[in-house]
Amino acid sequence: MSQTHQTQSLPPDTGVLLCAFCFLPAALQSKKGGYTMNIQKCIKASFVVIGKEGSTHDGDGFIQRLWEDANSHFHEISHLAKRNTHGDLAGIWGAMSDFSRSFQPWEYGFREGLYLAGCECEDHAEPPDGWTKWVVPAYEYLYAEQEDEFTFRKLMAYLFQNQLPLAGAVQDYTDPKTGKNYIFIPIRKL
The answer, yes or no, to whether residue 142 has pLDDT greater than 90, is: yes
Residue 188: the pLDDT is: 94
| Rounded Cα distance, 11 and 89, in Å | 12
Residue 34 banded pLDDT, cuts 50, 70, 90:
low
Distance CA 105, CA 170 (A): 6
Q: Are 116 and 180 in contact (CB under 8 A)?
A: no
pLDDT at 117 over 70: yes
- The more confidently predicted of residues 154 and 35 is 154
Phi then psi for residue 129, to 5 deg, are -55, 135
Does pLDDT of 32 surpass 70?
no
Mean pLDDT of 51-76: 95
Among the listed residues 132, 151, 135, 133, the one whose alpha carbon sits nearest the alpha carbon of residue 143: 151
| Element of type H or E holding 71 | helix 62-72
Least confident among 12-21, 37-46, 86-95:
12-21
Contacts for 134 with CB less than 8 Å, ≥ 6 apart: 48, 49, 50, 51, 53, 95, 97, 101, 116
Confidence check: pLDDT of 185 > 70 = yes
d(CA 7, CA 126): 29
Rounded average pLDDT over 121-135: 96
Which position has the higher pLDDT, 29 or 165?
165
pLDDT mean across residues, the chain = 83
Contact 3, 65 (CB under 8 A): no
Given a contact cutoff of 8 angstroms between Cβ atoms, the answer to whether 97 and 104 are in contact is: yes
pLDDT in tens, 82-110: 998 989 999 999 999 999 999 998 887 78
